[in-house]
Amino acid sequence: MIGALASPSAGTCPEHLQLGGLRLVNGSEVLAPEPCADEDAYLLVVSLWREGGALFLYGPARGIRPWASGGACVLIPKSLVQPQAELLDELPCRAVPAMSGIARLLADFVTDVWNDRESLRPADGPRVGMALLGLISALLHNLMEDGHGGMRQRSGRDALDQRIRTFIQRHLRDPALTPGRVAAAHRISLSHLHEIFAEQGLTVSAWIRRQRLERARRDLADPALREVPIQDVSATWVFSHPADFSRAFRRAFGVSPSGFRRRALAEPE
């Protein structure tokens, strides 16, 4: 595997791949770090969350938000993508649809690299990194062509989007969490809420469901919860029927809950 190392900045950081100057990190385990004093470290994050075909770009010093889980995150030194990175400095988050074009190619490429990381050779790292950097630079170039004005107009909506997702993450255990409740909590209409998610190729209910599946997957991989029955884990995240949970989990992750737990908790040889 390429660079399967623990980050030196934290004792419990997730596995990552070092791809030349880029770092590919397991997004389902990343939490928001403290602001970094090094101006050339973790300054631009392309967080790939592929449910519904969307990806998110974060500017410097914002770190990685917990709700950006799933798939993989690419951490990029700002120096590698100048001057395009400056467009993102003023934004808390930039959502980019990944249904077609460069954004789709980038999302698919990162997903494929992460899924095939076990088969990559050490010498592949810099080469894969160059290809990845080319796609990222192309995406940022396209955003530059949209103009600064268009991005500024979106900043308020992107901030609202972030608040909404943070609210959802905090209430995932609540069976009463519905699109209507989310809209009411943010004093917007239900149709406005659906429009925000539709711009990214998502539905509110599907995103809530995916986040609950991600939390359940995290718990199934937790050694401290080894003895907790799978049906109790699923119930914690508001899946009332074990069979429905099992089918949804397999569709999302390509493996049954029991199979995932066995693999995640297997003792290394």
Kindly report the backbone phi and psi dihedral angles of residue 45, in degrees, each rounded to the nearest multiple of 5, phi listed first: -120, 125
Pairing of strands 94-97, 54-58: antiparallel
- Domain boundaries along the sequence of the chain: 16-149, 206-264
- Res 189: pLDDT: 95
User: What totals of helices (H) and strands (E) does the chain contain, helices first?
Assistant: 9, 6
Strands (E) located in the chain:
16-19, 22-26, 44-49, 54-58, 72-76, 94-97
How far apart CA 32 and CA 143 sit, in angstroms, is 25
Which two three-digit tokens encode residue 259? Answer: 């199979």
Question: CB-based contacts of 42: which residues, under 8 Å, 6+ apart?
Answer: 33, 36, 63, 75
Chain centroid to CA 235 = 24
CATH number belonging to domain 16-149? 2.60.120
Q: Could you say which DSSP state residue 163 is in?
A: H
Looking at residue 230, its amino acid is I
Quick check: pTM over 0.75? no
How far apart CA 95 and CA 162 sit, in angstroms, is 10
- Res 227: pLDDT: 94
Q: What is the pLDDT along the chain (269 residues), one digit of tens a residue?
A: 443 322 333 333 346 788 888 888 776 544 444 444 444 444 455 555 555 456 766 665 454 444 444 557 787 777 777 666 555 555 555 667 766 788 888 888 888 888 888 888 888 888 898 899 888 888 877 777 665 545 555 556 777 887 898 899 899 999 999 999 999 999 999 999 999 888 777 899 999 998 899 889 989 999 899 999 999 999 999 999 999 999 999 998 889 999 999 988 886 65
Kindly report the backbone phi and psi dihedral angles of residue 69, in degrees, each rounded to the nearest multiple of 5, phi listed first: -80, 165
What DSSP assignment string belongs to 248-267? HHHHHHSS-HHHHHHHHTPP
- Res 200: pLDDT: 72
Kindly report the backbone phi and psi dihedral angles of residue 265, in degrees, each rounded to the nearest multiple of 5, phi listed first: -100, 5
